[in-house]
C-alpha cells in the first residue's frame, strides 16, 4: 500500500476512477490518505454521488465535473423539498390525444385533430432548461410530424439513438422510423 500511496495524487485518482464504486468506498475506510484523496477529488465525489442517487452521467453534458456535482446536489435538495428553481408554462394549443413521450429534453404529444382521440399527427417541443439561457428565454414552439395515417403509439430514444418510432395503422401493419440528424 505504501508504494501505491507514493504515486502522484493525480495518478492515484486516475487509478481509483477505474474501480467500481463499491471498491472506491472500501478504499475510503482502508487508509486515511486514501480517504483524504477521495474526499478532495471532485471526479470521485461525482461518481459516488451518481451511484448514491441512482443516476448515470450524461456524456453529452458540456459542464465541468465540478458544475455537474453542484447541480446534482442542488437537484437532490430540490427533490427532497419539492422546491423548484425553474418553472415554465408551455401552452398546448392543439387537441392532445393520449399519446405522449419524453426523452432527451424533447416532449412529444399526440394531436387528435378532432373531438375523437384518434391521433393523426404528433406535436413536439424542445423543453427549455434553466441552465441553457438561450432555451429558457425563447418562446417555446410546437412542431408537427404528420405520418399521413392514424397513430397507435410512439417511442422516443433521442439521446441513445436519435430515434423516433411511430406505430401507425394501415392495410399492412407497419411502423415508421425517423432519425434526428
pLDDT tens readout for residues 51-71: 988 888 988 888 999 999 999
DSSP for 135-165?
HHHSPP--EEE--SS-EEEEEEEHHHHSEEE
Report pLDDT for 161.
77
pTM score of the predicted model: 0.57
Report pLDDT for 140.
81
Report pLDDT for 82.
85
Report pLDDT for 8.
94
Report pLDDT for 7.
93
Report pLDDT for 178.
64
Say whether 79 sits in a helix, a strand or coil. Answer: helix
DSSP for 12-77?
HHHHHHTS-HHHHHHHHHH-HHHHHHHHH-HHHHHHHHHHHTT----TT--S-HHHHHHHHHHHHH
Report pLDDT for 168.
83
pLDDT tens readout for residues 15-28: 999 999 899 999 99
Report pLDDT for 74.
87
Decide if 119 contacts 95 (C-beta within 8 A): no
Q: Where are the domains of the chain?
A: 2-81, 96-179
Cell of 29: 475506510
CATH 1.10.3210.10 correct for 2-81: no
Spatial neighbors of 152 by CB under 8 A, at least 6 apart, are: 119, 167, 168, 169
Where the chain has pLDDT below 70, the residues are: 1-2, 115, 131-138, 170-181
Amino acid at each position: 500500500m505504501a508504494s501505491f500511496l507514493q504515486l502522484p495524487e493525480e495518478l492515484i485518482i486516475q487509478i481509483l476512477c477505474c474501480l467500481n464504486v463499491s471498491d472506491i468506498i472500501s478504499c475510503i475506510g482502508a487508509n486515511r490518505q486514501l480517504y483524504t484523496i477521495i474526499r478532495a477529488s471532485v471526479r470521485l465525489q461525482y461518481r459516488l454521488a451518481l451511484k448514491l442517487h441512482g443516476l448515470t452521467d450524461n456524456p453529452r453534458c458540456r459542464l465541468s465535473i465540478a458544475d455537474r456535482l453542484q447541480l446534482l446536489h442542488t437537484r437532490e435538495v430540490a427533490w427532497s423539498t419539492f422546491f423548484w428553481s425553474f418553472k415554465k408554462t408551455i401552452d398546448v394549443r392543439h387537441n392532445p390525444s393520449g399519446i405522449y413521450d419524453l426523452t432527451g429534453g424533447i416532449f412529444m404529444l399526440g394531436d387528435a385533430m378532432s373531438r375523437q382521440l384518434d391521433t393523426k399527427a404528433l406535436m413536439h417541443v424542445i423543453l427549455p432548461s434553466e441552465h441553457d439561457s438561450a432555451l429558457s428565454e425563447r418562446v417555446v414552439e410546437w412542431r408537427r410530424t404528420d405520418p399521413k395515417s392514424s397513430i397507435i403509439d410512439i417511442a422516443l430514444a433521442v439521446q441513445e439513438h436519435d430515434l423516433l418510432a411511430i406505430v401507425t395503422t394501415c392495410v399492412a401493419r407497419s411502423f415508421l422510423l425517423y432519425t434526428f440528424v
